[in-house]
Amino acid sequence: MGNRNTEVEKKHVAVLAFPFGSHAAPLFNLVRGIAAAAPGVRFSFFSTAVSNRSIFSDTTNQMNNIKPYGVPDGNTVLTKNLDERLELFLKATPGNFRSVMEVAMSETGRKISCIISDAFLAFAGKMAEDMDVPWVPFWTAGPRSLLVHIETEAIRQILGANDSEDQRTLDFIPGFSSVRVADLPQGVLSGNLESPFSKMLHGMGLMLGEATAVVINSFEELDPIAVNELKSRLQKFLNVGPFTLTWAPPLSSDEHGCLQWLDEHKTESVAYIGFGRVVTPPPHELGALAEALETSGFPFLWSFRGNVDEELPKGFIERTSSRGKVVPWAPQMDVLGHRSVGVFVTHCGWNSVLESIVSRVPMICRPFFGDQMLNMRVVESVWGIGLGIEGTVFTKDGAVKALEQTLLNEQGKKMREKAEAFRETALKAVGINGDSSENLKTLIELVTN
């Protein structure tokens, strides 16, 4: 036993984050869970200074065996353009990570024993190979989008380059008969296939088969066909979520009184609107959604990032004050779990999809980029727990129709029943001897042995 403890105390896991969008936070949540189970292992968390500040400023996130290290982002000209920042960051890799990893090894006196990375950072696989240590990439989205990126070569060979409006289905991939070419993320068949981001994803798809294990925030019974396909292509594919059930999230403040406001409304009557930390609909769509909320008469809670006075119709707040609440931030999981919320108007990012499922709340989806269009198609056509906004853009009439379908009609009730069934399956997955629980044990053993 003593030798085992001594060996664990030499373990040093390098965690390489992708510092854009909402990627770093779920990776940190994963590492936080592993670190709690392996207190003798050191975890060095490598991301940019800006990304690290957003995660480690929360005192509830502090753990003695996790230390953040700032990685240069390559943005010496201080551009604010996201595409340019991404390109500069990718040009700086992997050297920027490698140099800071040397610092961490020198400080701790421990060699790197394992590399956990965002799956986007496929170069981590070569680094792990050079160090002769396991590589465990974490995919922050859903199983279907992961399968698409792994199958990109085959998809391109069968379909060729196409525009983003192609309505043909991908029925040559098991379980994808409802998915259209138009639902695929940009960079697979459409868009600039030579952009740094597209090339990064393509390279990732080719590399993941070499990983010791690929980890995902999901549960096996949510999408068993896609999961089985991925298991056949990867050395290990470990579903260890949903994180909101696997690990208790840090306590959220409710400084704007959202929950108290929800207490005053009828069960399943409120539309909750939230588009995450990255996305904001264009002005004309914000106006159309606001008009729909005002016209429909449904109570609503809107987590709105932006200037309310400038971006929403003049007088909207005053005219809807008796049944609407607009706040700069809301404790989303607590809101979705409240009995009065009847529908979630969302961008259909993977974390939001999982949170909606766990809370048994139907979705109205307005996707914007990345995997969001594919998520919407699966939510609507495969799982039947939500619907896409008509024409995939907000119009007044389309938004009113979607609100009525989910809040008034039998269709919304059926969506909630299906979401309830998924929630029950998720609870089993994270329970004793559940798939996610067993996969998490496998992951912890892999990282600490």
Q: Which residues are catalytic?
A: 23, 118
Question: 367 and 293 in contact (C-beta within 8 Å)?
Answer: no
What single-letter DSSP state applies at residue 180? B
**Residue where the block lists tokens 């609909």:** 281
Task: For the chain, state the CA radius of gyration.
Answer: 22
Q: Please, which residues have CB within 8 angstroms of residue 372's CB and are 6 or more apart in sequence?
A: 347, 348, 349, 365
Taking Cα atoms as reference points, which of 371, 378, 363, 12 lies closest to residue 222?
A: 378
Q: Please, which residues have CB within 8 angstroms of residue 135's CB and are 6 or more apart in sequence?
A: 114, 115, 117, 124, 125, 127, 128, 129, 210, 211, 212
Which H or E element spans position 139? strand 135-139
Handedness of CA 363, 367, 370, 374 (dihedral sign): positive
Structure tokens at 222: 């949510």
Q: Please, which residues have CB within 8 angstroms of residue 107's CB and are 6 or more apart in sequence?
A: none
Taking Cα atoms as reference points, which of 80, 393, 369 lies closest to residue 198?
A: 369
Structure tokens at 385: 């727990």
Which H or E element spans position 137? strand 135-139
Q: Please, which residues have CB within 8 angstroms of residue 166's CB and are 6 or more apart in sequence?
A: 159, 180, 181, 182, 189, 190
Taking Cα atoms as reference points, which of 46, 141, 33, 42 lies closest to residue 96?
A: 46
Angle between helices 396-407 and 410-430 (to 10 degrees): 70
Rounded-to-integer distance, Cα 424 and Cα 358, Å: 9
